[in-house]
Structure 1
C-alpha cells in the first residue's frame, strides 16, 4: 500500500495495531485501512467498543487531574498511544506548567506523532519501547533526564496490561515498575475484563488475535494484584466510569458495561 506522508518508516501495515485502533475509535485520522477494517469488525461484534474506549480515556484524564491535586508533577505514561486532545502533558501542565511527562509506546506511529506534538515543549518527551522491557524504559536517557526518581512519580499504565500475555508474566513486570518508584508515587491502571460484558469481550478477544496486539482479559483479583504493596485510592477497584466521576451522568445506569477495571494506588 502507498503510505501517507506522516507514516514513519518501517511501520507494520500488514496487521492492525492497538494504538491505531484506539485512535480510530476516538475519531482520529492516524490509522491505516487495515486498522479501520478490523475496527469495523470489532464494532460490529462488540458495539460497546466505542464506549469502552471513550470511558477509558476519560478515566485517564481524571486520574491525571487527581495526581496533580496530590502534588505529582512528573509522569511516566507507558502505552501512551497516539496523541489526542486531553493528553497527559496538556492536563498536567494546565495545572503546573513545569510538570514533566515521558511518553512511551511500542507503536512507531504513536511515537512519531508524539514527538511532533512535543517539539516545542521542553518538559515532555516520547520514545519507542515496550512495557515488557522495564530496563529499557526506566533506564532510558530521556526518562532519566526528565524524571527525578528521588521524588514521587505518577506512573500511568492505562489500557496496556491486557496486551501482555500470561507467558510474559504481567505480575512480575508490574512488580518491577512498582519497585522502581519512590515512596509517595502513584500508579494508575485500567484493564479489560470478562467479569462483565463477557460475550462481547470474548468476541473482541477473538478478533484481536489477528492484530499485532492480542488481548488477555483478567479478573478483578488479577487486576488488583497489579497494585500489590500499594494503597488503593478510594473507591478502590471499580469500572472506569465509577472512578471519581464528575457527575452522575458520567457513571450512567450500567457502569459495568465498560468492561474495563480501573484503579489508582499510592506507594507508602
Structure 2
C-alpha cells in the first residue's frame, strides 16, 4: 500500500543540492545518491571521520528499539523521517518480527518518498507519506495512516537520526506533544538526536556542511533532548549518550558520545 492520495505533488529531485537522506544512504553504503551528495559527505567525513560509525550505531539502536517495542506488545509502527530504504531499516526489522505488522514511513524529502513508495508497493502492510513530520495533522490524517494504523492500539513512534534536522525546537516539541496525545496507552517513542558531547569543534564543522544541504542541523544538550519525551515514562536506562544506553563493548569512542538516545512508554489514558 502506498497511500498516494494523501500526498501533495512530489517535488522534483534536485540532484545538484546535497540531500540529507541521500548522504545518510551514502554513509550506509547505499547507491541512491548523486555526486553532490557524495561531495558533501566527503567534506563531512574530512571534518568527522567517525560519521559512518555514528550512522551504523544509530541503525543498531533502531533495531534494538523496534525489537524492544515489539516485545512490549507494540504491533504497528510510524517511522518519522524514515529516509531512503536500506538494509536494517525499520521496515526490514519489523518484517523480521511480524510479516503483517503495519508500518508507515514519513519523510519530507522527495528521494526518500519515491524510494519508500516503490518498496511499499510490494508490501500490503506498509505505507509511505510525503509530509513534514512536524505537521502532525497532515501525518495522522493521511489516508494511508488511517487505513493501516489503529490508534486504539499501541504504536511504535520512531524518530531516529532526524530530530536534529528540525531547528525549531518549539515546533518539534508541539509536534511530539500532538503525537503523544493521539497514541494509545502502551505506545512507545524511540528517539535519537545529535548532541554536543561528541567533540564540539568537529561537530560545528559538520553542522556548517549540513547547513548547505536540504536540512540544516542543530545540536542540542541532553537536558533539552530529554524534554522531547514529555510526560511518558522513560524506559531503562533512560535518556543518555548512545554508548551508555547500548552498553556494548568496543564502540567507537567518538560515536558513542555523538548522539543521545532514549525510549519512553505511554501509561494511563
TM-score, normalised to structure 1, is 0.91
CA distance in structure 2 between the partners assigned to 1:116 and 1:138 by the alignment? 21
* Structure 2 partner of 1:187: 189
Per the TM alignment, residue 171 of structure 1 is displaced from its structure 2 partner at its CA by: 1.6
Which of 140, 144, 147 is matched with 1:145 structurally? 147
Once the two structures are superposed, residues 153-202 of structure 1 have per-residue CA deviations (whole angstroms, 9 ceiling, x without a partner) of: 00001111111113663222221121111111000000011133212111
* Structure 1 partner of 2:119: 117
Residue 202 of structure 2 is aligned to residue 200 of structure 1: yes
* Structure 2 partner of 1:262: 261
**Structure 2 portions without partners, runs of 5+:** 1-9
Conservation of the 8 A alpha-carbon contact between 1:239 and 1:256: no
Change (3 A) 1:244 1:46: closer
Once the two structures are superposed, residues 202-244 of structure 1 have per-residue CA deviations (whole angstroms, 9 ceiling, x without a partner) of: 1111111111111010000110000011111101112224434
Per the TM alignment, residue 9 of structure 1 is displaced from its structure 2 partner at its CA by: 6.6
Deviates more, 1:8-17 or 1:87-96: 8-17
* Structure 2 partner of 1:5: none
Change (3 A) 1:230 1:162: same
Conservation of the 8 A alpha-carbon contact between 2:156 and 2:187: yes
Once the two structures are superposed, residues 56-108 of structure 1 have per-residue CA deviations (whole angstroms, 9 ceiling, x without a partner) of: 11111111111111111100001000011122222122222221100111111
Which of 61, 83, 86 is matched with 2:63 structurally? 61
CA root-mean-square deviation = 1.7
Conservation of the 8 A alpha-carbon contact between 1:240 and 1:255: no
Which of 12, 17, 42 is matched with 1:40 structurally? 42
Which of 179, 191, 215 is matched with 1:213 structurally? 215
CA distance in structure 1 between the partners assigned to 2:208 and 2:188 by the alignment? 33
Residue 180 of structure 2 is aligned to residue 178 of structure 1: yes
TM-score, normalised to structure 2, is 0.91
Conservation of the 8 A alpha-carbon contact between 2:80 and 2:106: yes
Change (3 A) 1:97 1:73: same
Report how many aligned residue pairs link the two structures: 258
Per the TM alignment, residue 253 of structure 1 is displaced from its structure 2 partner at its CA by: 6.8
Conservation of the 8 A alpha-carbon contact between 1:89 and 1:99: no
Conservation of the 8 A alpha-carbon contact between 1:241 and 1:255: no
